[in-house]
Amino acid sequence: MKLKLILIVLLVFTGLFNVKAQFGKDFQEEKQPQLQKRFFMGGGIGFWIWPREGYVYVSPLLGYHISPSFDVGVRLSYSYYWYNYSGLKFDENDYGGGVFGRYYLFFFQDLFIHAEYEFLSHEEPTNIYFTPPDIYTFTMKRVPLHNIYVGAGYRQWISQNAFVSLLVLFNLNETEYAPNNPIIRIGFGVGL
């Protein structure tokens, strides 16, 4: 059932990106681009699955070109993690969102620096006790995370209105529950 839900979410999410629009390099050459050419959407997906555990991540975003060299936007994120090994079995659901800014370097317009604030509601197993024979008891708790990411990225155009991006980010507010540095994201975007 969970695998079907994950596949449906991925299909719906990727179906959103069959949008045709004028975007990209024409935008950079125009003096005053139209308002609708300033918006773009995109995001990223990720997953890994092992025999006894797995992880699925979905993160759509909506951005706005303030100028050819500066973008701002909002990003939502959801991740699902499951673990089932030696009597310990649990699921985690994390969700949140953030705001970001990107500045494209004037000497090479596909390289950019990226800054982002993210709020994440993280679910964590706690108070784990082992009682023989191989029985674990625990409680789940929610932990609020305030992540501040800075880093750099590269954008590669794959058509006139679509691109793929690679980011390497560092969390300046790293805690025991936050993702480990560095954070690598692969995403994509299309013009609206």
* pLDDT digits 0-9 by tens, 111-128: 999 999 999 998 887 776
Question: Span 51-57, mean pLDDT?
Answer: 85
Count of the separate structural domains present in the chain = 1
Q: How confident is the model at residue 7 (pLDDT cuts 50, 70, 90)?
A: very low
Structural domain boundaries, residue 49: 2-191
The contacts of residue 13 (CB under 8 Å, 6+ apart) are 43, 45, 58, 60
Using CA atoms, how far apart are residues 35 and 46, in angstroms rounded to an integer?
Answer: 32
Distances in whole angstroms, Cα of residue 160 to Cα of each of 20, 21, 102, 146, 191 = 10, 9, 20, 36, 9
pTM flag (> 0.85): no
CA atoms within 13 A on the CB side of 191: 22
User: Residue 8 — φ and ψ, nearest 5°?
Assistant: -65, -45
The domain that contains 43 carries what CATH number? 2.40.160
What's the pLDDT score for residue 10? 42
Q: How confident is the model at residue 139 (pLDDT cuts 50, 70, 90)?
A: confident
Percent of the chain surpassing pLDDT 90: 33
